[in-house]
């Protein structure tokens, strides 16, 4: 009898947990969302709509892609659930193995558009994806740094990116990754950024990156914002 009561209690507890999960508020963990099957309709957009937007964003960076970006941003603004859904699906589309933007122009376009959306949405759950691809670049070059799409997304997310950027700066063996991390940290700015760069200055092994860290620290105002980007960017030059 006791064991029957125990089993019954456990079932009740399980049911209560299930109900509380189903009635929980906005989804905050995007990776917990199921992937969309071909016939499924998501809460916020149909599979066809997502596919159409992803296709537009994989084919250009001009008007059509801008319109797709804006539609996804508008949808994301509808609810936390929709934002999580869009971030999750976007991350899944962007996170392909062995990405090479020079060989795969569609992925390059998708990243240029996608990183911008993730930045606009302040999608901190995408930080690991973005920071691990900080150095991935297309053939083209612009002082906007849009040819390294992850940089723009990370900078747009801002202060929440600082702990992971700090980690990359202190631990990543790839010097060009550390250089990009300094660029992002200094551009985001603020007291945490100043602290991170101050600490990294004494441990950074590469002389050129140390110079760039020093230039950043020298160029910060009291609030930790770069006073003159033109002067500061002169030190952002450490070719392989």
Partner 1 sequence: MAFSGSYQEGKPNGGGQIRYGSGLAYGVGFTVFGSVSSGGIGHIMKDTNLKNPGGAWTIEQWTSGYTNINGSVYLKGGPAHADLNSTVPYEINGNEFRWYDHPGLEDKDPQSSRNPLKSYEGRFDIAVKVINGAQQCEVKFRISSTFSNGNWSHSWGQLN
167 or 221: whose CB is closer to partner 1? Answer: 221
CB of residue 109 to partner 1, shortest distance in Å:
9
Residues 6+ apart with CB under 8 A from 137: 101, 147, 148
3-state secondary structure of 145: coil
Site stretch for partner 1 (CB under 8 A), options 2-10, 32-40, 83-91, 139-147: 139-147
Residue 229 CB, nearest approach to partner 1 (Å): 6
Binding mask 157-196 for partner 1 (x = CB under 8 A): ------------------xx--xx--x---x---------
Quote the CA–CA distance of 16 and 9 in Å, as a whole number. 10
Other C-beta atoms closer than 10 Å to the C-beta of 177 total 17
Q: Is 155 in the site for partner 1 (CB under 8 A)?
A: yes
Burial of 195 (0-12, 13-18, 19+ CB in 10 A): middle
Ranges of beta strands (E only) in 16-87 are none
Taking the complex as a whole, the smallest distance from the CB of residue 143 to partner 1 amounts, in Å, to 4
Q: Judged by CB under 8 A, does residue 233 bind partner 1?
A: yes
Cα–Cα distance for residue pair 98/179, rounded to 1 Å: 22
Task: Answer yes or no whether residue 55 interacts with partner 1 by CB under 8 A.
Answer: no
Rounded CA gap, 163 and 196, in Å?
9
136 binds partner 1 (CB under 8 A): yes
Q: Which is nearer to partner 1, 126 or 179 (CB)?
A: 179
Q: Which stretch binds partner 1 (CB under 8 A): 29-37, 43-51, 63-71, 190-198?
A: 63-71
State in angstroms the smallest separation of the CB of 107 from partner 1: 13
């Amino acid at each position: 009898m006791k064991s029957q009561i125990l089993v019954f209690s456990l079932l009740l507890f399980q049911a209560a947990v299930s109900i509380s999960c189903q009635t929980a508020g906005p989804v905050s963990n995007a990776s917990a969302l199921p992937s969309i099957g071909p016939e499924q309709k998501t809460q916020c957009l149909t599979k066809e709509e997502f596919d159409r937007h992803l296709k537009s964003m994989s084919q250009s960076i001009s008007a059509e892609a801008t319109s797709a970006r804006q539609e996804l941003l508008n949808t994301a603004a509808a609810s936390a659930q929709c934002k999580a859904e869009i971030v999750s699906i976007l991350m899944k589309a962007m996170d392909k193995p062995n990405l090479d933007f020079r060989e795969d122009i569609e992925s390059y376009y998708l990243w240029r558009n996608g990183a911008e959306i993730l930045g606009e949405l302040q999608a901190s759950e995408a930080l690991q994806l973005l920071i691990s691809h900080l150095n991935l670049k297309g053939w083209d070059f612009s002082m906007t740094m849009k040819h390294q799409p992850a940089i723009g997304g990370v900078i747009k997310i801002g202060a929440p990116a600082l702990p992971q950027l700090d980690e990359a700066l202190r631990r990543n063996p790839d010097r060009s990754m550390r250089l990009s991390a300094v660029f992002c940290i200094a551009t985001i700015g603020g007291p945490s950024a100043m602290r991170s760069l101050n600490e990294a200055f004494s441990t950074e092994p590469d002389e050129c990156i140390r110079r760039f860290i020093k230039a950043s620290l020298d160029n910060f105002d009291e609030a930790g914002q770069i006073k003159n980007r033109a002067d500061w960017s002169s030190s952002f030059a450490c070719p392989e």
